[in-house]
Structure 1
Amino acid sequence: MPKKPAKAPSPASAKTVLRALAKRPKAAVQKPAKVAAKRPGGPAPADTRERIATALEAIAAHLAATRTAAAPALDLNAADAFVWHPDGRLSTVPRVSRVEIDLLKGIDRMRDILIENTERFANGLPANNALLWGARGMGKSSLVKAAHASINATRKPADRLKLIEIHREDIESLPALMDILRAAPFHFIVFCDDLSFDGNDASYKSLKAVLEGGIEGRPENVILYATSNRRHLLAREMIENERSTAINPGEAVEEKVSLSDRFGLWLGFHRCSQDEYLAMVRGYCSHFAIKVDDEALEREALEWATTRGSRSGRVAWQFTQDLAGRLGVRLSAK
C-alpha cells in the first residue's frame, strides 16, 4: 500500500524547531561536520540541518501567509447598519434594503408596539427583546428595518441606533459579538431574520445564555429582535418527538420551548384579509405614483393573489412590481 504523505508542520511547530536549532552551541554544529568531511559522499550534517532550517522557515512563512488577516479596526460611525461575520468582522451596509414604515399596512398594532419598545431602548430606558412570529410575507423583517430607520430619522449621529444582522447559522458566535458591543458607545439592535432550529441543532443554547441566564447576561446597550414563522422557534414534530421519546417528556420539552419565553415581547402576524391586501396594493401604487383605474387595479390584484394562493404584504409588493413593469413606471420614491 502507498505510504500516506506526512502532514506539513504547523507554524508553531516549525518555529519551535528553528528556535531549538538556533540555541544549539556552535561547537555542537561544527564538530560533526569535521568528522563527516572524512567520509566520501553525502552532505555534511551541518549542511543537512541548514537545509532543514531553510525548509521549515519557508513552510512557516507560507502557513502564516494563508492565515485569515486580522480584522480591521471597527468604525461604528461608518454606517447605521452592519452584518456580523463569525470571524469577528462587522461589515458595513451603506444602504439598507427596506420599505417606508407608512407602506406597511394591516400590522398597525404590531408596528406601534415595536416602535414604542425600540424608542424606549434608544432613550436608555428598559425594553424587551422581541420575537416577531407568524405568517410568512406579512412584513416581520420589514417592520424591524423600518422601525430602526424611523427611530433614527430625528436623532443626532451620536445618538443613532445601530442595526446589526446576524445570520441564523452564525448564532453560536453571538457571545463573541456581545463582547465586542458591550463597551461600545452606541445602542444596538441585533437582528436575526427567519430564526428557527431543527433536528439536533444545539446552537439555540448560545442564544438562551445571551437572552437570559448567562453570568454576564445581555449588555444594557444591546437588544435582540428576531423573526420566525414558528412561535416556539422549533418545528412541531421536534416538540412532539421530545414528548414521546424522552424519559421525562415535560422537562425535555420545557428546555426547548423555554427559548421563546426569553423574548419578553411576542408580536404575532396573521394572514391578512382581502381588504387589507387591497389597501397594501393601493398604498404602494399611491406611493410610487402608478396611475391605474381603481376597478381594474382591484380586479388584477385579486387575480394575482389567487394565482399565488395567498394574500400578504409580500404578494402585494410582487404584484406592484409586475404592474409597474408593465406600465413602464420606475419604483423610486417620489
Structure 2
Amino acid sequence: FYRKEGTGIFVQYYAFIWEHSANSGFFKGVAFPDPVKLSDLFGYENERAEILENTLQFLKGYPANNVLLYGNRGTGKSSTVKALANEYHSHGLRIIEVPKAYLGDFPEIIRELRGRMQKFIIFVDDLTFEDSTENYTALKAVLEGGLERRPPNVLIYATSNRRHLIKERFSDRFDPLGDSSDEIHKNDGVQEKLSLADRFGITVIFAAPDQERFLEIVNSIAEQRSIGMASKDLDRMALRWAARHNGFSPRTARQFIDWLEGHLALVK
C-alpha cells in the first residue's frame, strides 16, 4: 500500500488548496470537497469526453496535455474538473487549487510535487491577468517548459471566461500619437499575454446553451431527481425561471430544479 500510495497529507486528502503562511506556501487538505460527480453533469458530453480522455491518459502514464476550459459562466467548467478528482482519486489523482494571487508560486509548487507517487492536477479557476506580470510569467514558464520542466506527474487545468485571459485596457492599445518605442513595448506586452492561451495543449469551449439545450438539461436533472411533472409544464416553468434569473446555463437549470424540488416537497 505505501509503495503504491505514498504517505502523508497526499494519502489523507485528495483535494487541496495552496495557501500561505507568513514565510511560505503550503498544501491545505480539503476535508469536505464539493461532491459533484460526472454523472451529475448534463449537456456538453463531447466537451467533457475530451477532457476525460486526456485525464485518463495522464493517469495511465501516457502523454497528456494541459487543458484550458473556456466559456460562459455557469456552464460546468469548474464542476467538470472537481468531478474528475472525485471520480478518480482512488486511482491516485489529486487536485490542487491555486488561487490567482499565488500563481507566482508555481516553481515552488512544482518542486514540492516532483517525484511523488500520485498524479496532480493543478487547478486555476477563472484565470485572467490584468497587471501582474509576475503571475502570468510564472505560469507561462511552466506551460512552455523552462529550464525546470514540468514533471510528468503534474498537469495544469484552468478555467476562464476570457479567451485571451486578460482584460485589454484602452491604455494598452497602440496610440499613433504616442512615443513609438514605448508603444512597441506596450504592444509586445499585450501580445505576450494574449499568447498565453495558446500554451495550453487542449482548449475546450463551453458555449452557452440555446433554449433547446437548456431545456434538455432541465429535463435530465428532473429525471435524475425523480420529479414527476409533465415536460410541457416543466419547460414552461424553467423558461420563466431563466428569464427572471441568470439566463440559459446548466447552473441556472440546476438552481431551478433545486427550487422546484423544494417547492413541491413543501406544498405536499
Interval of TM-score (by shorter of Structure 1 and Structure 2): 0.7 to 0.9
Name the stretch that deviates more: 245-254 or 171-180: 245-254
Q: Matched residues in 1 for 2:82 and 2:132: separation?
A: 31
Other structure's SS at 1:297 match: helix
Contact 1:178 1:219 survives alignment (8 Å): yes
Question: Which residue matches 1:299?
Answer: 236
Size of the alignment, in residue pairs? 251
Other structure's SS at 1:272 match: coil
Question: Which residue matches 2:12?
Answer: 78
TM-score (norm 1): 0.70
Contact 1:119 1:151 survives alignment (8 Å): no
TM-score (norm 2): 0.86
Deviation at 1:260, TM superposition (A): 1.3
Question: Which residue matches 2:51?
Answer: 114
1:45-68: CA deviation from partner (whole Å, max 9, x where unpaired): xxxxxxxxxxxxxxxxxxxxxxxx
Q: Matched residues in 1 for 2:216 and 2:128: separation?
A: 31
Deviation at 1:216, TM superposition (A): 0.7
Other structure's SS at 2:165 match: coil
Q: Does 1:223 align with 2:160?
A: no
Question: Which residue matches 1:132?
Answer: 69
Q: Does 1:241 align with 2:172?
A: yes
Deviation at 1:325, TM superposition (A): 1.7
Deviation at 1:308, TM superposition (A): 2.1
1:117 is aligned with what amino acid? N
Question: Which residue matches 2:131?
Answer: 199
Instruction: Output aligned runs, 1:69-218, within 5 Å.
Output: 74-86=8-20, 87-152=24-89, 157=90, 159-218=91-150
Q: Matched residues in 2 for 1:303 and 1:294: separation?
A: 14
Q: Matched residues in 2 for 1:203 and 1:88: separation?
A: 15
Q: Does 1:259 align with 2:196?
A: yes
Gaps of 5+ in 1: 1-72, 330-334
Contact 1:105 1:276 survives alignment (8 Å): no
Q: CA 1:241 to 1:250, structure 2 compared with 1: closer, same or farther past 3 Å? A: closer
Deviation at 1:258, TM superposition (A): 2.0
Overall identity of the aligned pairs, in %:
38
1:136-173: CA deviation from partner (whole Å, max 9, x where unpaired): 11010011112333344xxxx4x421111111111111
Contact 1:168 1:192 survives alignment (8 Å): yes
Other structure's SS at 2:10 match: coil
Q: Matched residues in 2 for 1:206 and 1:231: separation?
A: 19
CA RMSD of aligned residues (A): 2.1
2:19 is aligned with what amino acid? H
Whose RCO is larger (CA < 8 A, sep 6+)? 2
Q: Matched residues in 2 for 1:208 and 1:275: separation?
A: 39
Deviation at 1:282, TM superposition (A): 1.4
Query: Which is higher, the Rg of structure 1 or of structure 2?
Result: 1
Q: CA 1:268 to 1:236, structure 2 compared with 1: closer, same or farther past 3 Å? A: farther
Q: Matched residues in 2 for 1:181 and 1:165: separation?
A: 14
Contact 1:98 1:142 survives alignment (8 Å): no
Contact 2:246 2:252 survives alignment (8 Å): no
Richer in strand (by share): 2
Name the stretch that deviates more: 119-128 or 169-178: 169-178
Deviation at 1:251, TM superposition (A): 2.8
1:42-96: CA deviation from partner (whole Å, max 9, x where unpaired): xxxxxxxxxxxxxxxxxxxxxxxxxxxxxxx942110221111133321212332
Contact 2:241 2:256 survives alignment (8 Å): yes
Q: Matched residues in 1 for 2:166 and 2:217: separation?
A: 30
Other structure's SS at 2:156 match: strand
Q: Matched residues in 1 for 2:145 and 2:54: separation?
A: 22
Name the stretch that deviates more: 224-233 or 169-178: 169-178
Contact 1:128 1:264 survives alignment (8 Å): yes
Q: CA 1:242 to 1:201, structure 2 compared with 1: closer, same or farther past 3 Å? A: farther
Q: Matched residues in 2 for 1:243 and 1:132: separation?
A: 30
